[in-house]
Chains A and B, each alone.
Chain A
């Protein structure tokens, strides 16, 4: 499974999302390849992704995709990430 975290620069916030998503997936016993990318490269970075993690601001720019786009409000709330990833993947 492939998950892509998207932010404006591809550093900073998307990196934090990647790190915390990996922790949540490990807790859930799920294996996935999680990468961080900037929104301008979303077409290639998320071409074969099942899930895109991002902020509300990027949903429009991400546009049409086969991936499930999950909007995260608090990047440090592992419970929010767990609930939303479980809902999407379960």
Chain B
């Protein structure tokens, strides 16, 4: 099962974000640029973190920002943001974050297989540092597709 679509326009390399909110907005901008989500999706992802805390930081250095399926989602999609300077989300173990993934899912049914592929990518502990160090979008796509 393939990952949710990750086109180059959904990838931002070496971004400057001063806060976790700015970092999540960059991931939302990537989803908007690739046509996966509308502009309001960023604030929905931020609201999830405000409501539930920094649980989206699911591994050291990695945040998986997402909200629920809804009118702000156009189609399934992924975005990747790498940060020039890591930012803190307030997570007790996994801060600071250098890679932010944005995930948009159109419907709960059937999303599991594509999200499972994320586990295949990141169960390899070298994936997060390799993405954080990537110099271009093509390298990030190759790592996410497990081509290198």
Report A's interface with B, CB cutoff 8 A.
7-13, 15-16, 18-20, 23, 36, 38-39, 55-58, 61, 73-78
Could you name 12 residue pairs across A and B whose Cβ atoms are closer than 8 Å?
A8-B51, A8-B55, A11-B66, A13-B56, A15-B112, A15-B115, A16-B116, A18-B112, A19-B115, A56-B92, A73-B93, A73-B94
Report B's interface with A, CB cutoff 8 A.
48, 51-56, 58-60, 64, 66-69, 92-94, 103, 105, 108, 111-112, 115-116, 118-119, 122-123, 125
Distance of A54 Cα from B21 Cα, bound (Å): 23
Supply 8 further A-B pairs (C-beta < 8 A) apart from A9-B68, A57-B55, A78-B123: A13-B64, A15-B111, A18-B112, A55-B58, A57-B52, A73-B93, A76-B123, A77-B59
> Which of B52, B55, B67, B115 is most buried by chain A, counting CB atoms within 10 A of its CB?
B55
Distance of A9 Cα from B93 Cα, bound (Å): 21
Given A36-B112, A56-B92: A12 touches B64 (CB 8 Å cut-off)? yes
Given A16-B64, A19-B119: A11 touches B105 (CB 8 Å cut-off)? yes
- Return chain B residues, CB-CB under 8 Å to A38: 68
Given A58-B55, A76-B59: A20 touches B111 (CB 8 Å cut-off)? no
**By the criterion CB–CB under 8 Å, are B58 and A15 in contact?**
no
CB distance from B3 to the nearest CB of A (A): 13
Distance of A36 Cα from B103 Cα, bound (Å): 17
CB distance from A74 to the nearest CB of B (A): 5
Chain A residue at minimal CB-CB distance from B114: A15
Given A15-B111, A20-B123, A74-B60: A7 touches B116 (CB 8 Å cut-off)? no
CB distance from A45 to the nearest CB of B (A): 13
Given A9-B48, A15-B112, A76-B122: A57 touches B69 (CB 8 Å cut-off)? no
CB distance from B78 to the nearest CB of A (A): 11
Chain A residue at minimal CB-CB distance from B52: A8
